């Protein structure tokens, strides 16, 4: 038995992803724990072409926990596979839309079951 010639190459690559939800859309983003809200906006912009200044993120579905612009995902304790919620600025105004998450089957998006 010898030393693994690959060294650390056999270690799994640490890459996390988050699910960013808005209305009927879910965007899967690969993220680094050092990413900030600006990094997330830039990644979403690549997919949606929505200006970065018109995108805002929240940690919770009720919109009470906005993502702090100055903190990293690690600082915010965002975990792999976590859902984040996104809203856009209403076109031509300084107002933001409400968080509105729809599910394909029409059931509540909060995971409630009957």
Amino acid 10: pLDDT? 46
List helix spans (H) across the chain. Answer: 37-48
Amino acid 107: pLDDT? 60
Amino acid 102: pLDDT? 81
Mean pLDDT, consecutive 10-residue segments, the chain of 114 residues?
49 75 95 95 96 96 93 94 96 94 65 44
The reported pTM is 0.77
Tokens of 77: 């304790």
């Amino acid at each position: 038995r010898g030393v693994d010639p690959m060294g650390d190459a056999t270690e799994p690559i640490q890459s996390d992803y988050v699910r960013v939800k808005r209305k009927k859309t879910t965007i899967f983003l690969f993220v680094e724990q050092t990413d900030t809200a600006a990094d997330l906006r830039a990644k979403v912009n690549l997919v949606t072409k929505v200006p970065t200044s018109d995108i805002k993120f929240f940690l919770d579905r009720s919109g009470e926990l906005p993502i702090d612009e100055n903190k990293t995902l690690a600082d915010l304790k965002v975990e792999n596979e976590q859902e984040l919620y996104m809203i856009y600025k209403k076109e031509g105004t300084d107002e933001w839309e409400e968080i509105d998450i729809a599910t394909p089957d029409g059931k509540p998006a909060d995971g409630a079951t009957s």
